[in-house]
C-alpha cells in the first residue's frame, strides 16, 4: 500500500506544481503586449495593402489586452464613454470627471506610434465605440497636397470631410484620386451612388464602405431625417 500512497502524493504534488506554472504563464501572458490588430476588441473589418479599417468596441466593465499602435491611426468617435487606461508597469489612470465626452462624429488623429504598451477599461454605463483608419504606407507630403474647401482634417495620412444631409438629399458629385472611406455617424439609411449603381448602403451608426479612387460618386440620404457622414480620403 505504501508505494500506492507515495504515487498519490507525487501525483498531487505534480498537479500543484502544474497549477502554479499555468498560473504564472497566465500572469505573464496578461502582461505581454500585442499589436492593435491582434487585440480582439479592435476588430479588423477590411485590409488593404496600405491601410486597414478597424471597428473598436469595448463593452461596459470590459478591459482590453495590453497592445501597441504600430501605425498612424485616424479615429471617428461613434460613442464616447468614461475609461481608465494603464501603461504596462504603471498604475491605472482615470479620465478626469470634468472632461466632457466627445460628441458623436468627433475626429481624432494619432500619429505617435511610440506610446508604450497600454490597455483600456470601460468604467461607464455604455459601450465604447470607435472606427479607425490605420495607415500602413508613407502617406503624402502635406506640402505637395493642395487643400480643398470644406476640409475638417488634413495631414499626410488622411483628409476628412463632414457631410450633414437633410432627408432624401444628396451631396454634390465628389471625386478623389485616393481610396475613400465613408462612415455613418448618426442613425439613418444612406448609400453612395456611383454612376447608375447604388453602393455602400448603410443602416446603422458605424456603418461604413470604401471606394476606389478615380471614380466620381455622391453621398445620399435615403431617409427622412438628417444624417451625418464622414468622408475619409486615404492618402496612398
Mean pLDDT score, 205-232: 97
pLDDT band for position 31 (cuts 50, 70, 90): low
State the average pLDDT for the chain.
87
Q: Tell me the pLDDT band of 141, cut-offs 50, 70 and 90.
A: confident
Residues 178 and 200 in one domain: yes
In this structure, is residue 196 part of a structural domain? yes
Are 38 and 117 in a shared domain?
Answer: yes
Torsion angles phi and psi, residue 7, rounded to 5: -65, -35
Q: Regarding beta strands 180-184 and 190-194, do their DSSP bridges make them parallel or antiparallel, or are they unpaired?
A: unpaired
Last residue of a domain, one of 135, 170, 199: 135
Residues 42, 116 within the same domain: yes
Question: Is residue 64 domain-shared with residue 123, that is, in the same domain?
Answer: yes
Same domain, 63 and 81: yes
In a domain, 166, yes or no: yes
Helices (H) and strands (E) in the chain, counts: 1, 18
Report which of 176, 159, 213, 169 is spatially closest to residue 191, judged by C-alpha positions: 169
| Structural domain count of the chain | 3
Domain co-membership, 23 together with 39: no
Q: What is the pLDDT at residue 114?
A: 79
Low-confidence winner among 4-13, 35-44, 96-105 (lowest mean pLDDT): 4-13
The CA distance from 92 to 61, in Å, is 14
Q: Is 140 a member of any domain?
A: no
| Domain annotation covers residue 58 | yes
Residue 141: inside a domain, yes or no? no
| Domain extent for 3 | 1-30
Local confidence band at 111 (pLDDT 50, 70, 90 cut-offs): confident
Residue 101: pLDDT over 80: yes
Given a cut of 70, whether residue 5 has pLDDT beyond it is: no
Q: Are residues 66 and 107 in the same domain?
A: yes
Does residue 179 fall inside a structural domain? yes
- Are 127 and 59 in contact by the 8 Å Cβ rule? The answer is yes
Q: Which residue has the higher pLDDT, 104 or 20?
A: 104
Q: Name every residue whose Cβ is closer than 8 Å to that of residue 66 and which is 6 or more positions away in sequence.
A: 30, 31, 32, 33, 34, 88, 117, 118, 119
Average pLDDT over residues 133-158: 83
pLDDT band at 98 (very low <50, low <70, confident <90, very high): confident
* CATH code, domain with 158: 2.60.120.10
Least confident of 19-28, 96-105, 205-214: 19-28
Q: Which pLDDT band holds residue 168 (cuts at 50, 70, 90)?
A: very high
Task: Give the domain-ending residue among 90, 116, 135.
Answer: 135
pLDDT at position 81 over 90 = yes
20 and 49 fall within a common domain: no
For residues 150 and 115, state if they share a domain. no
Amino acid at each position: 500500500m505504501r508505494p500506492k500512497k507515495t504515487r498519490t502524493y507525487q501525483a498531487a504534488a505534480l498537479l500543484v506544481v502544474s497549477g502554479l506554472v499555468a498560473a504564472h504563464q497566465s500572469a505573464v501572458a496578461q502582461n505581454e503586449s500585442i499589436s492593435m490588430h491582434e487585440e480582439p476588441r479592435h476588430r479588423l473589418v477590411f485590409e488593404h495593402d496600405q491601410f486597414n479599417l478597424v471597428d473598436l468596441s469595448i463593452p461596459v466593465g470590459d478591459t482590453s489586452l495590453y497592445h501597441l499602435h504600430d501605425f498612424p491611426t485616424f479615429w471617428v468617435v461613434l460613442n464616447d464613454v468614461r475609461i481608465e487606461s494603464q501603461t504596462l508597469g504603471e498604475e491605472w489612470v482615470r479620465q478626469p470627471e470634468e472632461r466632457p465626452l466627445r460628441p458623436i462624429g468627433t475626429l481624432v488623429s494619432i500619429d505617435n506610434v511610440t506610446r508604450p504598451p497600454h490597455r483600456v477599461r470601460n468604467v461607464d454605463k455604455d459601450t465604447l465605440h470607435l472606427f479607425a483608419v490605420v495607415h500602413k504606407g508613407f502617406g503624402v507630403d502635406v506640402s505637395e497636397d493642395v487643400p480643398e474647401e470644406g476640409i475638417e482634417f488634413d495631414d499626410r495620412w488622411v483628409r476628412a470631410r463632414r457631410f450633414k444631409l437633410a432627408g432624401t438629399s444628396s451631396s454634390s458629385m465628389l471625386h478623389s484620386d485616393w481610396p475613400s472611406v465613408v462612415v455613418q455617424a448618426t442613425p439613418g439609411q444612406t448609400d453612395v451612388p456611383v454612376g447608375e449603381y447604388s453602393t455602400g448602403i448603410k443602416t446603422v451608426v458605424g456603418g461604413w464602405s470604401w471606394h476606389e479612387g478615380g471614380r466620381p460618386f455622391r453621398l445620399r440620404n435615403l431617409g427622412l431625417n438628417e444624417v451625418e457622414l464622414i468622408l475619409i480620403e486615404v492618402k496612398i
